[in-house]
Every structure is written in structure tokens, then in C-alpha cells.
Amino acid sequence: MVNGIINLKKEAGMTSHDAVFQLRKILSEKKIGHGGTLDPDVEGVLPIAIGKATRVIEYMTDSGKVYEGEVTLGLATTTEDSSGEVIEEKQVPLSLSEHMIDEAMTHFLGEITQVPPMYSAVKVKGKKLYEYARAGEEVERPSRLVTISLFERTSPLTFEHGLCRFTFRVACSKGTYVRTLCVDLGGRLGYPAHMSHLVRTASAGLELADALSLSEIEARVAQEQWDFLLPIEMGVKSLPSVAIDETNKQALLYGQFIELEGDAPLLAAYYDQRLVAILEKRGTSYKPKKVMQ
């Protein structure tokens, strides 16, 4: 059985489910999941969990993410990205300055409220929003709180055919819709907008520079080179950790509570630098939530 984490570079044009399906064939392993969906048009880091590592997917999904993309001001689409139909246009004057954009971006830092786009997988009354959108139905969408820790412009402004484009970098919490962030930025500036390009450069502690494509992974498997498999411990890097002794290790393996100092609601417990269990605070003790060995 194959166990571990893969830093996959998902290519544009495939869904996250497509990537998992292909990996199941390449690795001859059914127990595979991904840590954080990427839209089909978006490329970049897609954390993949294999075998026992699927038990830590939720902690990979909870970790922050970093994206690099492009905003186009002056044109809005149904999907909030370049794949949708144009629904609004407005010429952007050359007087729009970098300072005005930079100042507007600061208003999105910290905890903000977002309304998910209609073309998204958020469920309302048992149906995904994109199913309503494809049927031409508009429904009330639940707002959500997300955290933006970095939102900065990374290029000069480019003006062409009444539109204005620039690139950006954003670091955000799980559940953030970057295309909605682009649309809301445009709204603050007074222009329709959409996200014209996006790449996820980091997720769950994995970096795009180290990611491998499906074809690269397939080639390594054919040569029986498994060095691309990362340890399960990579999946819990976002959790506070604690080193335990042999006595506590044995207690956890039997599902027993152990006494540890600290108030963290969740802890990753290690013995000899290997993950033993995910611990959950219960009163003055810690209970094994998931035992990994």
C-alpha cells in the first residue's frame, strides 16, 4: 500500500477530481484525496494524500494558501473569471493610478465577508450554486468570513482597449474565492472587474517550485522512483506539535487519555520524529482523535 503526500502541479483544463482519478491509475491506489479544490482553469499546487495520509486531509485543507494572478478592470463576467460571458463593461480612464489601486487593496486585509459566486460548488438547499446558475436561477447565497493576510499589486498597470490589467499576490485562508476578491476590488474602485488569470503557488506548506505534474509522476513511477512521496507529517505542519515519551505513545495507541501541558485545542503528537496521533483537548487532558500508527 502506498502512503504519503504528493505535491502535485495541477494543470489548467482539468478538475481536481480529474487529477485524483488519473493518480489512482498511475499509482494503482484507490485511497487518494486532495487537500483543497482548484477550479479547472486554475493551475498550481494541489496537495494530494495517499493511503493513510488521507486521514490528515482536513488539516491540509485548513491551512492557508498563496496565489498569484491578474485582475482586469473594466469588464465583468458571469463566472467572475475569463471563462464566463461578459455582463458589464465600463472604460477605465488613464487617470486611474497605482496609488489608488494599492490604497483600495488595503481595505481587504484582515477578516472580511465574502458572498460566494453563483458559479461555485457551495451548496444551497442541497444543490450546488453552479447548478442553479446553469439553469438560469438566482438564489440567495450565504456569506462567509475569510481572512486575507496579504494582498498586493505585483506589476505596473497596463491600459489597453479601455481595460486596465495588473498582477497581484494574495495569501488567504481556506474558503476564500480569489475571483470574488478581484470583483470586489473592482467594485471599490468603481469598475466592473474579473480575475483574468490565477496560479496557486503554495498550499499546506507545499510550494509550486517543488511540485510535479502528472506526467512527471507517471515517469518516476515507471522507473520505480518514489522519492516524490512526502511523509504524512507534512499534512499536519499547520498544527502545533508536541514530543511524547514511550509511555504516552503506548497509551495513545490504546486510545487512552494523556496529560500534557498547554491549551491548544488540537495537537500533533510525535514520538521519535514520527507522527503518532492527532490529539484533542478534553478538560485537563488530551484524547487521541486520530491514531496514525
Q: Catalytic residues, which ones? A: 39
Burial 9-41 (b: 16+ CB within 10 A, else e): bbbeebebeebbebbeebbeeebbbbbbebbbb
**Rounded to 10 degrees, what is the CA torsion of 154, 72, 19, 225?**
-30
CB 93 within 8 A of CB 174: no
Alpha-carbon distance 124 to 139, whole Å? 8
Nearest Cα to Cα of residue 134 among 196, 84, 88: 84
Please name the helix (run of DSSP H) or strand (run of DSSP E) that holds residue 280, with its range, or none.
strand 274-282
CB 234 within 8 A of CB 5: yes
224 — alpha (psi -120 to 50), left (phi > 0) or beta?
A: left
CA distances from 111 to 71, 80, 106, 148, 149 (A): 21, 21, 12, 6, 9
Nearest Cα to Cα of residue 198 among 212, 175, 173, 178: 178
